[in-house]
């Protein structure tokens, strides 16, 4: 049986962008939003993090109009900052799982509302 590994937003965006680079495609933030279903601010933040990790993030104008410019992006290369990668991995590994978060929320709700377990 294949094991499904949950990917972080950063990993998904990195994989989408690197795949696009392989075929010479550039993406706008709106296109990335449609592809990943993540919000535009989240995508922008993850692209900044990837750049800080050592990936090359290129930006160019796709359309220049009177009301502004439409930018498109391309990511390539690989992470060259081991310190950034290690700190990111440590932060990700220290996050509680969804199951742990739900258990904590349940305990907090029961405590706030003074609900006790009863055994019959």
List domains and CATH numbers for the chain.
9-112 (1.10.10)
Judge whether residue 78 has pLDDT over 70. Answer: yes
The H-assigned helical ranges of the chain are 9-22, 29-36, 40-52, 82-94, 98-112
Among 37-41, 45-49, 98-102, 112-116, name the one with the lowest average pLDDT. 112-116
Judge whether residue 65 has pLDDT over 90. Answer: no
| Dihedral sign computed on CA atoms, order 54, 83, 99, 6 | positive
Cross-strand bridge partners of residue 64: 69
Distances in Å between the Cα of 118 and the Cα atoms of 92, 96, 106, 115 are 37, 28, 16, 9
Q: How confident is the model at residue 26 (pLDDT cuts 50, 70, 90)?
A: very high
Q: Dig out the tokens for 51 from the structure.
A: 């750049």
Nearest-angstrom CA–CA distance, 26 and 63: 13
pLDDT of residue 7: 80
Cβ partners under 8 Å of residue 10, min gap 6: 46, 49, 50, 88
Predicted TM-score (pTM) of the model is 0.64
């Amino acid at each position: 049986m294949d094991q499904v590994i949950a990917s972080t937003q950063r990993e998904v965006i990195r994989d989408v962008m690197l795949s696009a680079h392989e075929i010479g495609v550039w993406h706008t933030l709106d296109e990335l939003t449609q592809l990943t279903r993540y919000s535009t601010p989240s995508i922008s933040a993850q692209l900044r993090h990837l750049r800080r990790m050592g990936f090359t993030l290129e930006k160019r104008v796709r359309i220049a109009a009177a009301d502004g410019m439409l930018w498109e992006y391309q990511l390539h290369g690989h992470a060259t900052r081991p310190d950034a990668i290690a700190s990111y991995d440590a932060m990700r590994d220290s996050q509680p799982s969804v199951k742990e978060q739900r258990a904590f929320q349940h305990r907090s709700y029961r405590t706030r509302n003074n609900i006790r377990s009863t055994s019959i």
